[in-house]
Amino acid sequence: MNKMATQVCGDTSEATELCATQRLYLKPTAKLGIHVTLPEIKVAGVSISNWEVMERLKSMVAPDQFNVLKVVESSMEFIRFEGETDTKGLIIKFISKLEGKFIKLSGFAEPLKVRAAELKLKFPSVNDWNSFFREAGNLDERNPGERPDTIVIKGLPCKWFADDDSKSKPSEDVLASVFRRFGKIRCVDIPILDPYRQKLSNNEFQTFYFGSHLHFDAFIQYNQYQGFSNAMGALKGMKLMHISEEGRAATANIQVDFDRTCHMSAKNIKKREQERLKLIEMERKEEERKSREKEEAERQKEMERLEEERKEAERKKILQDAIRRKEERKRAREEKKRKKRAERIRREIERKERQRQLEREREQEKAEQKIGAKRLLMELLQRVAAVKEQEEEDRKKLEEERNKRLKELEMLKQMEEKKRKLEEEERKREEEEKRKKEKLEEQEKELRDKLIQNLKKMEQRRDQLKKELLQRQIASSTAKLTSFVNDTSTGK
């Protein structure tokens, strides 16, 4: 379906009118074949990006642009692209920019050679349809549909062939009015408009775009061969163009061929009609069956409703009986509860009477116990007073004994304090003597050190004097010897 997609058209200069009322035109299909030779890849893991090559091709034709540029074949040796432009003039311009040129890709020392040429479109020729119908032995050229009189067009946009009643479905009348330009039309057929066409047994009908809301296929049968030939000649290498009321142009690639299936022959039309009638009959029977099933279901539903109402009435009666029995049981329970409550009140009164009697007996017993307790308390108080007097006497004796002991302890503490003071004075005296002794020893040591130092100085002075005396003696001897030597030399 991508091949059938509509494209915006920027240049309408090469368009020729097809049907002015529908704003439809024919425009030459300008396609370019591009062959890019790839260098030998010697490094494993290195590949050439089709997208990168495509971008280089686009930059080579800039500022012009491709309407469509796609990869149609790719291998290790080459990449083949198919490009489409708005006009035939651009094809020549693009070929001059691409043919024999080279593309240099980063990472490849060898450039990629580009070959470009206008793409020849596949389209049946006069010889093709003449040969087809001549070699078909079971066809009679005298019968419409069994001769070259019907064209098949695929990929027609639905909106461009819609009438005012339906903006999304194509109209056979609009289709006939558009292609009547080439000759008188016997009939047309748009398979997607027939709701039964999908269910037909013939496999040829399975190729149509059933359910598509964008494009449709159509069969157009002309009365005369001339109309068929004119249409095939006019549609060769063309695409359909539509200009909106706002002036925006759009194109759609269509596939045109002669009818190779005898789709519009009387035999096939009759066969389709018979199968269509069978389908309608089957549909009618199916509707009747569904209607009977619906009536049966409704009758069954009504019976079920009546049965449900009967069961509901029975349930209500059972429920009412259950409620009545429940009320009777409730009254019996309430009577039983009333009797139990009266019995409980009677027992409660008797219990309270017994309790009051017991309380009176307990109060009397408590009064007697209270009198006995008072007597016992008086006796205990007397005994406690006697015990307290004895304890007071014992306490006084203990107090006197304790005071005596305290005085003795006080005297003992005073004696120990005096002893401690004497010992403290003795200790201080000993420490004072020790300090004096240490001071004397220290002074003695200092005097001894000074004496030793003085002796050392005296010895050093004596040694120095000896050294000076010896030096003077040596100097005197030297002077004498020199004088003697001089005198000896003079005498000679």
- Asked whether residue 26 carries a pLDDT value surpassing 90, the answer given is yes
CB-count burial class (<10 Å; 0-12, 13-18, 19+) for 222: buried
What whole-number distance in Å separates Cα of residue 455 and Cα of residue 458?
A: 5
Kindly state the average pLDDT of the residues 423-449. 87
Could you tell me the pLDDT band of residue 183, with boundaries at 50, 70 and 90?
very high
Cβ atoms of 107 and 46 closer than 8 Å: yes
| Number of Cβ atoms within 10 Å of the Cβ of 258 | 17
What is the average pLDDT across 204-232? Answer: 77
The pLDDT confidence band at residue 492, using thresholds 50, 70 and 90, is: low
Answer whether residue 478 shows pLDDT above 60.
yes
Q: What is the pLDDT of residue 473?
A: 83
Q: Comparing 15 with 3, which gets the higher pLDDT?
A: 15
> Is 4 a residue whose pLDDT tops 80?
no
Mean pLDDT of 21-30: 91
Contact 69, 57 (CB under 8 A): yes
Whose structure tokens read 């990929």?
Answer: 155
Examine the pLDDT at 210 and tell me if it is beyond 60.
no
> Is 70 exceeded by the pLDDT of residue 100?
yes
Q: At what angle do helices 50-61 and 88-98 cross, to 10 degrees?
A: 110
Banded model confidence at residue 405, pLDDT cuts 50, 70, 90? confident
Confidence of residue 1 (pLDDT cuts 50, 70, 90): very low
Quick one: pLDDT at residue 207? 44
Closest by CA to 66, choosing from 43, 78, 82, is: 82
**196-200, 276-280, 326-330 — most confident range:** 326-330
Highest-scoring range by mean pLDDT, 196-200, 249-253, 488-492: 249-253
Token pair recorded at residue 144: 């419409």
Sequence-ordered list of residues with C-beta below 8 angstroms from that of 178, at least 6 positions apart, any chain: 18, 19, 22, 24, 161
- Please report the pLDDT score of residue 200 as a whole number: 67
What CA–CA distance (Å, rounded) separates 261 from 151? 11
Could you tell me which residue, 140 or 72, shows the higher pLDDT? 72
Query: What is the pLDDT, as a whole number, of residue 213?
Result: 66
Residue 242: its pLDDT value, please? 93
- As a whole number, mean pLDDT of residues 18-35 equals 91
